[in-house]
Structure 1
């Protein structure tokens, strides 16, 4: 072999080797769009902390480091869509995590779908988030399932037959969940005596609560966000209401008890299947809880953080099975997620890309949240 040709081949091999090393060191970007300011900031912050904790536990995959690119969607639908557009076009992320809030996730998912970028929703429970989508998935159950679980628990476990609903008519989550609870409670044989409404940001619920007290329901289902829900609790008890109050997963917040105080006593809610008080934690939930306490010693773990952690875990698992940081390959792998052990249980995604996990039930007693167990709706 001539010396020139030998040198040429050697240089080519060196170039390819350096390129391979460069690729191996190049980070895999995962986009995160969550409400870090605005109405839903508390939930978004918790979910981000869960994602960041997962990054500490799983900092690399396929021999490459993971880089999180975080964008605040500001609790606004337009901002959510813009955040996803930036992440997929400018930052070239391989996959997305987000978001807290179904209406925000619906806006983001539309952009991700057009860009053909896989995304995993955290706590966005509306069926519309993944409906008809090839590229969007979620780590949480959906509202028809959650609403049916709430109705089943009220009817079968509590033995209640007369219900009412109090909902935020301006919120997609509240409207949908109220509808599914009502439908399921009636199907079981119960009666829904009132369906009253309010708007996001309202502070005075006296008129609605007075009307509810007059209708004498045994239980009032109110799928509110925690701040408004806590105010409703206080005003209901001040008016002498004796009915059971039950909410949905958006009430799952440490500040619920702080705001409601003694009025939170006896309040019940559906929740994702994780809580630090649960008796039968799986190994992943135990590991998450220990890691959380180590990193956040002054703050109790929350299920929103758990869902953020789980979304990251699902994407890492999909990357491993895909064998490459390719959007289409990761999408295919996510769609095939089955039997993945996570802090919220064994994760399997169904044909609609929704998580098949049980619904937890929480009750507030003596200023503390008690995890009662799981319910499978009828």
Structure 2
């Protein structure tokens, strides 16, 4: 069919107008896209879902108060399934397909490390919520601080140091066994720091035993540890394994105190280990719901109203990570990644749920470590160790 020159130009004009109108619609968008990547399924889903709930509450509050830069925040959510490879895939999709301007998320260090690599390659700011391994923000090969990766939590070096000093000075233990999850960067890193500080402080490590995530029977390892008669067991693992290990340890007659890290924090811990078995166990953490500072209490009240239950530490960290990122976007007064990065790096006196915090030169949060004791199946706040 022939098209007259007049009709041809009319069609061309209509096509151009459609494109222009589409462009106007995009530029007039009221939304700012921010990605959120968490462990929503898999063995560490308890962490990821709690952190995601805290993050969603923060986004809801921010949008209710006018959003940021005069726009509403649109959350684009991805599930990393607790796997590093899935973390990289999720980050790649959010950045290249969904076109987010920044990302928050991650509660598992190995996932955060994989996600940060993609953020760095694409020069997109990432604020990790609860990944404590130093390699999240510092390149392992070069030793250089990653430009676009930040975190709302403290790192292993501080947490491990606090644990070792707590064992020596508060629990008054002179020797310890260590159980390490050899499939976890988090566990291996934290165990090494604990060992270094504990031995330098005069303590002695009488046994080191390794296991792998998803193992079910730990009695052979625990029998070896029992033979060394340790005064303490340091167990920097994830709640899913920790609960089973502690239950089996008590069944074998091991009565020594057991100490661990923030990855213990899950309601599932008591379900798996049992309230009685968990007595005389302790762990370091980011936050306690029993903290009485005003910011904490306001967060607890809002979280209870939204979800009908009190928050855990992962929820607090997901909440803090969002506000940390949005605070930087406001101060940058821009959606440009480089300007947001600069604002994040300059963060000082940020009001977290556990009090004011700063970001260090390595982009890590300088904030207190909370000591939690398990008593009859409940978490009891003992003290906060400040940096």
- State the TM-score, normalized to the length of structure 1: 0.91
Residues 1:294 and 2:294 are matched in the alignment: no
Aligned equivalent of 1:64: 71
Residue aligning to 1:124 = 131
Secondary structure of residue in 1 paired with 2:365:
coil
Task: Quickly say closer, same or farther: Cα 1:81–1:22, change in 2 above 3 A.
Answer: closer
Deviation of 1:212 (Å): 1.1
Instruction: Map Cα deviations across residues 183-224 of structure 1 (whole Å, 9 max, x no partner).
Output: 000011111111111111111111111111111111100011
Query: Is residue 2:84 matched to residue 1:80?
Result: no
1:106 matched to which residue of 2?
113
CA distance in 2, matches of 1:46, 1:169: 25
Tell me what 1:40 maps to: 44
SS class of match (1:52) = helix
5+ residue gaps in structure 1? 1-18
Going from structure 1 to structure 2, the CA distance change for 1:289 and 1:20 (only over 3 Å counts) comes to farther
Q: TM-score, normalised by structure 2?
A: 0.89
Instruction: Find 2:360's aligned residue among 329, 347, 350.
Output: 350
Offset at residue 92 of structure 1 (A): 1.2
Aligned length: 357
Deviation at 1:24, TM superposition (A): 5.8
Unmatched runs of 5 consecutive residues or more in structure 2: 1-22, 139-144
Supply the distance in 2 between the matched residues of 1:301 and 1:179 (Cα, whole angstroms): 30
Aligned to 1:303: 313
For 2:377 and 2:188, how far apart are their aligned partners in 1? 29
Q: Say whether the 8 Å CA contact 1:359–1:375 is kept in structure 2.
A: yes
Counterpart of 2:199 in structure 1 is 186
Q: 1:310, 1:344 within 8 Å by CA — same for their partners in 2?
A: no
Query: Tell me, what secondary structure is at the counterpart of 2:325?
Result: helix
For residues 1-378 of structure 1, the aligned pairs below 5 Å read 23=27, 25-59=29-63, 60-131=67-138, 132-261=145-274, 262-272=276-286, 274-278=287-291, 281-297=292-308, 299-376=309-386
Contact 1:162 1:193 in 2 (8 A): yes
Give the structure 1 partner of residue 5 of structure 2. none
Q: Deviations over 1:269-310 (max 9, x none)?
A: 0111x21223xx22221111000110111x321110110100
